[in-house]
């Protein structure tokens, strides 16, 4: 058999095998599993978006290759949406690029900027794609630990000067998966300054910009004056409009970065199905009542779970955004150990924090992607085994 490439050997170990196996076994036995593991909305895509797809699917114009960089009208709507939501002006032709989901763009970006051995700064715990996309491009990784005492923000001042001088890319993501932490404008100002001072491209993942609660409205890094000189921002319709299966997202920001990513993509894929982009337009320019509803739904689930978990003595900060709870593992357990206990004794699936990087050890992640009755049931089961 042909030996696999080194880049596959450099992939971080997959840590969920044990839990996946146990979950499979339990399901086979007919045990009623409550899955709070996956970050995939349980609610359907709003009907007006589905209708727009149906109509557009019948138009033969959409049956041919789409434009590589995305339909002009879709990119216009993205620019309009950015103006309205963040007050940021974008040139739709040069500063907006349609993506096959933001994961695709994040994974491909390093190919446009990284030579073998170049340095990329990646937070831990984090969405795994920042590190893996960088590894695939041949990068060396410098890990930025996200610690509770820093509000799960990277501490830029503790990065050695030599690292800053060498680094080409920095990935950040607020509102954050998995910690659910949020960042304010001053954090993004710091990031932009760092990018300018050391000539680093700041790659901000804003997948959860609309999934926010109470009075908090997450900012875009592009709101910071001068950010466009050093920043690219990744965006997704997946979480905002329950469209994870549709595969549509976009990147905005620095023209050179957008151009570089576009050059990689035009040689790898041929764009997003036109009908899906038309559905995306319907999402962005349609009634945003579905977004308010989505927020209200997760806010209720959050309140229910935060108070239930706290009553059980578990420690967590109530999130201002995202549909995740980042919960400290009780004393005496590892992340894996506690997740296994919850699965074996309560039929509840959660994600062990170390699966997002070593620095996630000591935590587990709950995704609020089940109806309230199921969350109540999960709390009930936890009460039954509370002597962990």
Ligand X SMILES: *Cc1c(COP(=O)(O)O)cnc(C)c1O
Give me the residues that bind ligand X (CB under 6 A), please.
39, 101-103, 127, 173, 177, 205, 207, 236, 238-239, 244, 249
Least distance in angstroms from the C-beta of 101 to ligand X: 3
Give 242 or 346: the residue with its C-beta nearer to ligand X: 242
* Strands laid side by side in the 324-328 sheet: 324-328, 363-367, 351-352
Least distance in angstroms from the C-beta of 228 to ligand X: 21
* One-character DSSP codes across 147-193: -GGGTT---GGGS-HHHHHHEEEEEE-SS-TTT-----HHHHHHHHH
CA distance 297 to 331: 32
Sequence-ordered strand ranges (E) for 100-158: 119-124, 140-145
Q: Which residue is nearest to ligand X (CB)?
A: 101
Give 96 or 382: the residue with its C-beta nearer to ligand X: 96
Give 273 or 388: the residue with its C-beta nearer to ligand X: 273
Least distance in angstroms from the C-beta of 207 to ligand X: 4
Q: Rounded to 5 degrees, what are φ and ψ at 298? A: -75, -30
Least distance in angstroms from the C-beta of 106 to ligand X: 7
Measuring CA to CA, how many Å separate 280 from each of 51, 62, 81, 246?
11, 14, 12, 9
Give 239 or 265: the residue with its C-beta nearer to ligand X: 239
Give 46 or 347: the residue with its C-beta nearer to ligand X: 46
28 CB burial (10 A radius; 0-12, 13-18, 19+): exposed
Least distance in angstroms from the C-beta of 123 to ligand X: 11
Give 173 or 336: the residue with its C-beta nearer to ligand X: 173
Least distance in angstroms from the C-beta of 251 to ligand X: 11
């Amino acid at each position: 058999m042909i030996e696999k490439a080194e880049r596959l050997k450099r992939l971080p170990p997959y840590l969920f095998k044990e839990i996946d196996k146990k979950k499979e076994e339990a399901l086979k036995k007919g045990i009623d599993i409550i899955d709070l593991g996956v970050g995939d909305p349980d609610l359907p895509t709003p009907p007006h978006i589905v209708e727009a797809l149906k109509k557009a699917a019948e138009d033969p114009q959409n049956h041919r290759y789409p434009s590589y960089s995305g339909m002009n009208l879709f990119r216009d709507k993205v620019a309009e949406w950015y103006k309205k939501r963040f007050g940021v002006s974008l040139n739709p032709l040069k500063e907006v690029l349609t993506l096959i989901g933001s994961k695709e763009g994040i994974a491909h970006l390093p190919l446009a900027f990284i030579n073998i051995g170049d340095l990329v700064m990646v937070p831990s715990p984090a969405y795994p794609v920042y590190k893996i996309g960088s590894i695939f491009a041949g990068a060396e990784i410098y890990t930025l630990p996200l610690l509770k005492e820093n509000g799960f923000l990277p501490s830029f001042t503790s990065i050695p000067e030599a690292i800053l001088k060498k680094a080409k890319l920095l990935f950040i993501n607020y509102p954050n998966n998995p910690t659910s932490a949020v960042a304010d404008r001053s954090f993004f100002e710091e990031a932009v300054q760092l990018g300018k001072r050391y000539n680093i491209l700041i790659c901000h993942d804003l997948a959860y910009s609309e999934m926010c609660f109470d009075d908090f409205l997450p900012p875009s890094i592009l709101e910071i004056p001068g950010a466009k000189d050093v920043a690219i921002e990744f965006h997704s319709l997946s979480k905002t409009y329950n469209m994870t299966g549709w595969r549509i997202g976009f990147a905005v920001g620095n023209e050179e970065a957008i151009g570089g990513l576009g050059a990689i993509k035009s040689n790898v894929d041929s764009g997003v199905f036109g009908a899906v982009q038309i559905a995306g337009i319907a999402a962005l320019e349609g009634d945003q009542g579905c977004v308010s509803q989505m927020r209200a739904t997760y806010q209720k689930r959050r309140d229910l779970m935060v108070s239930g978990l706290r009553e059980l003595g578990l420690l967590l900060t109530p999130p201002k955004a995202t549909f995740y709870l980042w919960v400290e593992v009780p004393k005496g357990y590892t992340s894996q150990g506690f997740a296994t206990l919850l699965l074996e004794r309560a039929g509840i699936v959660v994600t062990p924090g170390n699966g997002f990087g070593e620095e996630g050890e000591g935590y587990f992640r709950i995704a609020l992607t089940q109806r309230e009755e199921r969350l109540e049931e999960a709390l009930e089961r936890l009460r039954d085994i509370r002597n962990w």
